[in-house]
Each structure stands twice: as structure tokens, then as C-alpha cells.
Amino acid sequence: MPTDIQTLKSLGLFEELTPEELNRVAPIIHPMKVGEGEILTQRGEPATVFYVVLKGNFIISFKDGRAFTLHERGDIIGWSTIVTPFRYTGTAVALTDGEALTLQGDDFLQTIQGESSIGDKIMKKINPIIAERVPYFSRDAARRDLPPAGAE
């Protein structure tokens, strides 16, 4: 079931879209329920689904044990669906029950590339988030001196 326009408009990612543009993207966005402990994305796997958090709390973890958590409505998970090489850089797990909007990667990419005005507005929102998250999975991060996984 596609998402209603009001819900989309209330999310930071889509707030700059015009009503017409919202109508274009709405059909490719679908809500889903998430259960505690559910894995949304797996690091290294092909990035096929993009999520926008509606409710709930999530953790995204990376190779060297780094992680950050998401608690706000409108937070995004799975930007790798629209950035080469289209593989998830982190593993996202639900810390609590929650709800999210999902966009299939192909549809999302096609919309962004096909409608430059929509693409620009959405990428303007996503780019700072990517820049913010880069340190968590960049190579420098791997140099951090921490006990290896499984040492416990």
C-alpha cells in the first residue's frame, strides 16, 4: 500500500518536494512493521532496500565494532542503495519494535536519476547524512586499536 502524502511531507527527506513530486514518489514507498532484533541491512550484501524510520530505535554497526544508533522519525537507513557500489556499508538492526517506510533500490535510483528536481532535493538531504556517516566505515576507522571481535 503506497504511503500517504502527508506522512511523506512530514519527513525531512521529502519536505522540499512539491505536492506533484510527492505524488510521483508516493507509489514506490511502502510502510512496514519492524520487530525487535530484526535485521534490516547486512554489511557487504547488495543494497536493495532503502528505509526511512517512522517509529522505533535502530543500531547500525560496522566492521571494526563501531556503531551509531538512530532514534528519530525521519532517520534513514540504506543510502548505499543509491550510491556505487550498491552494497550496504553497515548492518542495521532494530533495537525495539518500530515502523519504517521502504523504497526498493531500483525504483528509488530510477526516480532520483529520472527526475532531476526530485533527485537534487533528495540528494541534498542525503549527502550530509552520508558525509556524517563516512567516518564510521572509512579505512581510517579500521586503524583504531580495539580488542578484536570475539576476544571476549
Partner 1 sequence: MTGLEAIAAHNGWAIAAVGVSIVFSGLTMLSIVISQLYKVLDFWERRDEFFQRMKGRGAVEDVPRITVSPDMKETVRQYRMLADRLGKPFSLPRLLDLARKCGLVNPHSTINRLLKQEIIVPDGEGYYHWHQSISS
Partner 2 sequence: MENMFLEFFSNTGYAMADYRHVVMILIGVTFIYLGIAKHYEPLLLVPIGFGILIGNVPVFKGLGLGIYESNSVLHYLYLGVTSGVYPPLIFLGIGAMTDFSTMLARPLLMLLGAAAQMGIFLTFLGALALGFAPNEAASIGIIGGADGPTAIFLTAKLAPELIGPIAVAAYSYMALVPVIQPPIMRLLTSRKERLIRMEEPRVVGKREKMIFPIIGFLLTCFLAPAALPLLGLLFFGNLLKEAVVTERLAVAARTSIIDSVTILLGMTVGASTQADVFLTSQSVGIFVLGALSFGVATASGLIFAKIINLFVRTKINPLLGAAGVSAVPDSARVVQMVGQEEDPTNFLLMQAMAPNVSGVIGSAIGAGILWSFMS
Q: Residue numbers of the site for partner 2 (CB under 8 A)?
A: 18, 84-85, 89, 113-114, 116-117, 120, 124, 127-128, 130-132, 134-135, 137-140
Nearer to partner 1, 91 or 111 (CB): 91
Cα distance between residue 13 and residue 73, in whole Å: 11
- The entry of partner 2, partner 1, none that residue 5 binds, CB within 5 to 8 Å by partner kind: none
Q: How far is the CB of 128 from partner 2 (least distance, A)?
A: 7
Q: Which does 128 bind (CB under 5 to 8 A by kind): partner 2, partner 1, none?
A: partner 2
- Terminus-to-terminus CA distance in the chain, angstroms? 45
Q: Which does 106 bind (CB under 5 to 8 A by kind): partner 2, partner 1, none?
A: none
Where on the chain is the footprint of partner 1 (CB under 8 A)? Answer: 36-37, 57, 59, 61-62, 64-69, 71, 91, 93-96, 135-136, 141, 144, 146-147, 149, 152
CB of 130 to partner 2, least distance (A): 6
Question: Which cell numbers hold the place of 93?
Answer: 538492526
Of the candidates 93, 132, 125, the one whose C-alpha atom is nearest the C-alpha of residue 8 is 125
What three-state secondary structure class fits 109? helix
For residue 94, the minimal CB distance to partner 1 (Å) is 7
Q: How deeply is 69 buried, as exposed, middle or buried, from its count of CB atoms within 10 A (0-12, 13-18, 19+)?
A: exposed
What residues have CB less than 8 Å from 44, skipping those under 6 apart? 87, 88
SS3 state at 80: helix
| Smallest distance from partner 2 to CB 55, Å | 27
